[in-house]
Chain A
């Protein structure tokens, strides 16, 4: 039996030129352990010769990346054996306790057992969009870091609580209004498409209507307001008042399709939306900078690329602070400080 493998046969195989006989040889080499290092050498050579980028049409692997992202987001925390043992006993104990508890409630509060209404929560991981569907068929998207909750008898009362940004496509139901509550606003609708942004830690709430009609009611201030399509309502918690402007709703809701569209928007607004999208805090230190108008469409870029691209048209420099972990194990958001560039042409953004 021959002990050497033929690199040429393998090379031809990778290029699609191989016979049944060649293929049987290759199977043998892969199966037989004694060829292991030779096979490895042959493949190593091939690997080393392969360029990083292909000149011709590149295969689109974005779906593979999306699948990966989902797998990674579902990363379960790893428990040590000790923790697992404790967990096992805790669970077992809980199961064993349950009938006892039921019996206790039943005997202590006859006829007064409260209906089971569990809260259902949907959380969109930072840096990702999450699609959701509600029991009534309404659906939508949660932006990075957003959080939506509702109680399990949702069918009776269509009520959801939101923090962060979300786009809703609500199924029409004349008898049952759909209500979104944020810390500052109550938004009532019958059946429409709209976008709500109530970022945590910010003093404003923003509602953009794409279709239909919604009624907005203040929770921290006394007002009630109807909104028409292509109108944006921004409630300012500090001033306790809201303001309506005409906008292009399609642009402001395109994030749900993975696209960010800016058309002649002040830089302040641009960075606000980018911050939500990438879970980054932008700090602008210059008043003049806030009002710079900007126009661009971004799709699938990293935040560094986006800032670089902005710097091509707007005279800014930036500095990035990496995320740091506080002693309690919570990561701070990444902070990007944006400065107006001096008149003297200097090097581009420092990193």
Chain B
């Protein structure tokens, strides 16, 4: 709807300090989009970026009485957003550690995987490939790679021999490797066809 930029930041902030929800909403309308676009470019998922927007503004509201009028409001937003983005980025990195370990293994044999500049889509592809594994194989693979369980433990838990566990993991890795190779060949083929 029509956005009327009728108040400057200082005015809005002095009203926010007094607890004005209207000023809070005006600031949200003015700055939320920038914070969102900034966050999504580092965190790469919409829900994470939305979370940052929410956290930044929640902190703004909670600290409204301590806001200083002299300093730039934009640099205040930046500082809060940066801290939240850093935290979220590191948390996500820890959660996704097993994806990176798989890529480490795969790129040891296929160095191209390490330098292809579409790593974002490679990650998405890996995720969907794991989903495509037969249910039992997938379960074993996740237990080993993501939950970092020992082979013997998985074998005991699932009532199968350690050998079977190892075989399942080898098969899964083989499947991933093959799929990425095929992907690359078709990519090259595409490149070849388009160029020639």
Contacts and interface: CB of A to CB of B under 8 A. Distances in A.
* Secondary structure type dominating chain A contacts: helix
B194 interface: no
Contact of A127 (B21, B74, B85, B115): B21
Interface string A277-302: 00000000000000000000001111
Contacts of A17: 117-118
Nearest to A128: B21
A311 B36 CA distance: 34
Interface in B16-52: 21-22, 24-26, 28, 30-34, 36-38, 41-42, 46, 50
A14 interface: yes
B114 interface: yes
Contacts of A157: none
B53 interface: yes
A224 to B, nearest CB: 42
Contact of A15 (B41, B82, B89): B41
Contacts, number: 114
Contacts of B36: 59, 61
- Among B4, B46, B81, max chain A CB count under 10 A is at B4
A164 B115 CA distance: 64
Interface stretch (A48-56, A97-105, A114-122): A48-56
A63 B46 CA distance: 13
Contacts of B89: 30
Interface stretch (A21-29, A168-176, A260-268): A21-29
A61 B32 contact: yes
Question: Which one of A14, A20, A44, A46 has the highest number of Cβ atoms from chain B below 10 Å of its Cβ?
Answer: A20
A54 B31 CA distance: 11
Contacts of B32: 61, 64-65
B50 A54 contact: no
A18 B114 contact: no
Interface residues of A, number: 47
A64 B54 CA distance: 6
A302 B41 contact: no
Interface stretch (A67-75, A178-186, A211-219, A338-346): A67-75
Interface string B78-90: 1001100110011
A61 B33 contact: yes
Given A20-B107, A65-B32, A305 B116 contact: no
Contacts of A299: 1
Contacts of A47: 38, 74, 78, 81
A265 to B, nearest CB: 21
A54 B33 contact: yes
B120 A18 contact: yes
A308 interface: yes
A305 to B, nearest CB: 6
B33 A68 contact: no
B53 A31 contact: no
A45 to B, nearest CB: 11
A20 B103 contact: yes
Contacts of A15: 41
A12 B154 CA distance: 41
Contacts of A247: none
Interface string B111-153: 0011111111010000000000000000000000000000000
Given A59-B46, A68-B28, 4 more contacts: A20-B107, A61-B36, A71-B54, A72-B21
12 contacts: A18-B117, A18-B119, A19-B114, A30-B90, A47-B81, A54-B33, A54-B37, A61-B28, A64-B32, A65-B28, A72-B61, A127-B21
